[in-house]
Amino acid sequence: MKILIFFLIFFLLLSSLSLSQNIFKRICYLRPESNFPIDYVIQNNICTHIIIAFVSIDSESNLSFDQTFIDFLQLCRQSIDTINNNENYPKLMFSIGGGGAGGWKMASSTDERRKRFVQSILQFIQQYQLDGVDIDWEFPSWPKKLTQYSERNDFIKLLQEIRRNFDHEKQISGKHLILSAAVAAQFVIIQVSYKPVEMAESVDFINLMTYDYFIHKWYWPYVGHNSPLYSPINLPFNFINVTKTFSVEWSAEYWVKIGMPRHKIMVGIPTYGKRYTLFHSKINYPGAMAISGGNDMTYSEVCEFLKRKNTVEKYDSIAHSPYAHNEPKWIRMKNFGGLMIFSLNADDYRQHCSNIDNDDNDDSRILFPIHMAIRDSVINS
């Protein structure tokens, strides 16, 4: 059976947008990983913000983490302090939660628990000299249930409690602590989980997860782009309004429409691809049926896939998304505040792609080709 992959990389428009008031942010998520070249990331100014993911929540509404996480966090802090020469960036943050993580309902359910939880966050930031926290609750009130409004309201109260404590800390130390929130891009979740106007009052920015639009399920056995800039027309049941919202453009603009300021929206970019086992090898376009969905593919794995015999690259002119890679020039042109990349780990820092295309003695090879291309597009603007 033929394997089909969908992968999206954004390269940004070189526009005349002024950066004097608000820096165009490059938010990079990073999971702890042994022998990770963090010095390279910092020396090459790849990210303005590095978010180490993820910390959990225990049964007492305190942060839960292991020594591996702490060791990696301290390594990042040391590298920034050593290499950065007292510059303001990159900011070092940590993220709580992630897909499938629990503990949020309990930690946000009462004033007492929220205060305890936020104190745990503040102590963690102070102890490890961090610049802020990212709240990745996936997702308040979702799937939709009777507790819908209480969880959504508790999420707002939690953000407000964090902001109050951060503002108080600024009065004492003079340091502004950053609060961000990772949020869904899918319409059905947005409607249930968020109150954007109230969120905007507390957060410095949101990390909009404009990817995973297509995930193979028994009730949705179709292939599709991981992160299409525009909505394809060949989607199954495309006459249903919800399917027309499966695009980066729609999600980002919708968040603006419902009250999130543009400069606080970091548009998400995945460094990984989706793969599917097709129902029939001849039916291999967006919207085709699939028997199953495989594990996500890193950029290095995508490069290897493209070099296989009989691999064919195609371009979806409607979605502006080649099945392998893409170059839409859009985020800067629309005046959003920045972008979020998930993740540094999935970029080709082991140079597998370079080894495929170049001689081993080629000195022109670079680590993190996706992140570096994004960096250059932004810096050269």
Residue 250 has phi, psi (to 5 degrees) of -60, -45
Q: How much is the pLDDT for 161?
A: 98
Q: How much is the pLDDT for 157?
A: 98
Beta strands in 66-177 (DSSP E): 91-97, 132-136
Distances in whole angstroms, Cα of residue 370 to Cα of each of 47, 49, 82, 189: 12, 16, 25, 29
The first and second tokens of residue 368, run together, are 């993190």
Q: Where are the domains of the chain?
A: 3-379
Beta strands in the chain (DSSP E): 3-6, 25-30, 49-57, 63-64, 91-97, 132-136, 178-184, 205-209, 265-270, 272-278, 290-293, 297-298, 315-316, 321-322, 338-342
Residue type, 252: A
Average pLDDT over residues 128-156: 89
Q: Select from 3.40.50.1980, 3.40.605.10, 1.25.40.10, 3.20.20.80 the CATH code of 3-379.
A: 3.20.20.80
State the CB neighbour count (10 A cutoff) for residue 11. 18
pLDDT tens digits, one per residue of 260-270: 999 999 999 99
- Give yes or no for a contact between 307 and 324, defined as CB atoms under 8 angstroms apart: no
Q: Identify the band that residue 9 occupies on the pLDDT scale cut at 50, 70 and 90.
A: very low
Average pLDDT over residues 139-162: 87
Average pLDDT over residues 138-152: 81
pLDDT tens digits, one per residue of 321-354: 655 433 334 666 788 999 999 999 999 998 888 6
Residue 325 CA from chain centroid, whole number: 18
Identify the residue with better confidence: 268 or 291. Answer: 268
pLDDT tens digits, one per residue of 172-186: 999 999 999 999 999
pTM metric for this prediction: 0.88
pLDDT above 70: percentage of residues in the chain: 79
The first and second tokens of residue 234, run together, are 């060949």
- Give yes or no for a contact between 242 and 234, defined as CB atoms under 8 angstroms apart: no
- Give yes or no for a contact between 245 and 224, defined as CB atoms under 8 angstroms apart: no
The first and second tokens of residue 1, run together, are 């059976």
pLDDT above 90: percentage of residues in the chain: 58
3-state SS record for 55-80: EEECCCCCEECCHHHHHHHHHHHHHH
Average pLDDT over residues 19-43: 87
Q: Identify the band that residue 364 occupies on the pLDDT scale cut at 50, 70 and 90.
A: low
Q: Identify the band that residue 277 occupies on the pLDDT scale cut at 50, 70 and 90.
A: confident
